[in-house]
Structure 1
């Protein structure tokens, strides 16, 4: 089985291709990545073929997708703050890019397209936990672009009989997550600051909550979906219904590092939601054997990886 992974040199993608390389059912892995946010180092010693370029290039997509059974579309321009600063690039990469990938999959008769959406589409909807039937109220260009991407996927499933599986990710963290840029996610920012002895900067009071999901749990679900060729007629939350505050994350890091961490509180950022928590009933119906990684175990693995890579300048 040939699998194509867009954004395969990025955080989730590089963890996924490692997991795919360990199963016998996958005979060929092709990564599409323009390396604008991904890293070549993330693919070291991984049995993949890299097609370097943008998902907005139809010829490049044709080259990569010939003979593919499944496509995992992770290529995106992430970050709510980045989308507020740069709304048009966010739309082009996330909405138009998804449409280009779906069209290429249709041209080449790909059986299955798995793609990443985001919990940010729920936005200002106050209901917790968030089930997939809730009305999305996106409050950032990034959230709008992700909502458009999943809507395109479901429309292609309806119009062209394409098997799709749109996942809404909730605050995924783990090894290989970028830390040294202006739009870095909160967990790698916290760990990098803690390891360097710098203060941890929190936007808001730190009591805002997220459904933090370890990347290994995410990749195990996607691998299972590819092996069993799982598809749906609606979106699926990929998180486990655990509501954790930023202050609790900081307390866990203090325990792991065995020292107090300095914390600086700053004003909340535009576009950030106050609380997030998944209803995971649909996920567990499709993947009844999936087991989430506890926060402490996930943070320990992430700290261990970042200690040997980020601070070493790798």
Structure 2
């Protein structure tokens, strides 16, 4: 099996690369990344090859199509900073690049497993369902929604190729530290509390998210690799928790009582409440999360302390 992972030096991509090498030791795994937000340290221990390139460059895909053959593509490369407002850049990088990849997938006859986002839903009433309303609040969410539409149109035309999209909710876990300001609130709050600083939250910390641990996300990707299915799926826990609850859990695990500073949210596109309906992923993929927020944070802290 020959596997390409775009964005393979990033948070989710690097975890997939390492899991593939553990689960499929005879597979040939290649990482593609431009290292704009990914980091080489995420690939320490990875034994495969690394290709440096920008997914929005059509000539890169032409070169890959001519020189490589892949059986599976995990497409995780994207602009993931939701505060970037350059609409053309976001659409070119996230949506248009997907078209280049799918053209190669037809040539390779490769299964494609790509990253969409809960950002496609915006502030619709939870729980969010794959076939329900989709009203993105920013161009990032819109770019992912267009990716999903490209995927659905592709599936109508290429029924012989398997294509799976994952609408990730709020992922946290090992490998995200190099994302900087876009790392999860779990990571950001841990760093503040562990160093004795104030925990800082938008007023009044009751915004709710469906937080999903990286190990559950990798589990979903491995299921998609193994299953002979296509479609778009929510990947989450199916439960929403507040930012205040993260502070409470970290306080217990770190045995401290941090001071919390609340401040005004500077964004007018902020999602107030996300919660996934994961019944489709459960029924079609056999996906069920193994980690509650408490369990995930507890496991993550071991890694952060190490």
Q: TM-score range by the shorter chain?
A: over 0.9
Asked if 2 retains the 8 angstrom alpha-carbon contact of 1:218 and 1:238, the reply is: yes
How do 1:175-190 and structure 2 match up within 5 A?
175-178=174-177, 181-190=180-189
Is this contact kept in 1: 2:113–2:163, CA < 8 A?
yes
Structure-2 residue corresponding to 1:159: 157
The partner residue of 1:271 within 256, 269, 272 is 269
SS of the aligned residue for 2:222 comes to helix
Structure 1 residues 121 and 180, CA gap change in structure 2 (3 angstroms): closer
Which deviations, in whole Å up to 9, do the C-alpha atoms of 1:172-194 show, x marking residues without a partner? 10011136733333222111212
Offset at residue 297 of structure 1 (A): 2.0
CA gap of 1:186–1:58, structure 2 versus 1, over 3 A, is same
SS at structure 2 position matched to 1:247: helix
Equivalent in the alignment of 2:70 = 68
For the 8 Å contact 1:25–1:227, the answer to whether it is kept is no
The equivalent of 1:116 in structure 2 is 115
Which runs of 5 or more structure 1 residues have no equivalent in the other structure?
Answer: 309-314
- Aligned residue pairs total 302
Alpha carbons 1:179, 1:192 under 8 Å: kept: no
Residues 141-156 of structure 1 mapped to structure 2, 5 A cutoff: 141-156=139-154
Deviations 1:98-143 (A, max 9, x none): 2221122123322x11111111111121x22111121101110111
**2:107 match:** 107
CA contact (8 A) 1:58 1:104 kept: no
Distance 1:218 1:133 in 2: 21
Shift of residue 63, structure 1, vs aligned partner: 4.8
Q: Within 5 A, what are the aligned runs for 1:1-314?
A: 1-24=1-24, 27-64=27-64, 66-81=68-83, 83-84=84-85, 86-110=86-110, 112-125=111-124, 127-161=125-159, 162-178=161-177, 181-232=180-231, 235-268=232-265, 269-288=267-286, 290-308=288-306
Cα distance in 2 for partners of 1:196, 1:97 equals 40
Whether the 8 Å contact between 1:8 and 1:31 is mirrored in structure 2 is yes
TM-score normalized by the length of structure 1: 0.90
Root mean square deviation, CA, Å: 1.8
Contact 1:8 1:33 in 2 (8 A): yes
What residue is the counterpart of 1:311 in the other structure? Answer: none
- The question of whether the paired residues in 2 share the 8 Å contact of 1:30 and 1:64 is answered with no
- Structure 1 residue 88, shift from structure 2 partner: 3.0
Greater Cα shift, 166-175 or 42-51: 42-51
Q: Is the 8 A contact 1:5 1:13 kept in 2?
A: yes
Following superposition, the deviation at residue 230 of structure 1 comes to: 2.9
Q: Could you tell me how far apart the structure 2 residues matched to 1:153 and 1:39 are? A: 28
Q: Is the 8 A contact 1:2 1:26 kept in 2?
A: no
Q: Which residue of 2 aligns with 1:312?
A: none
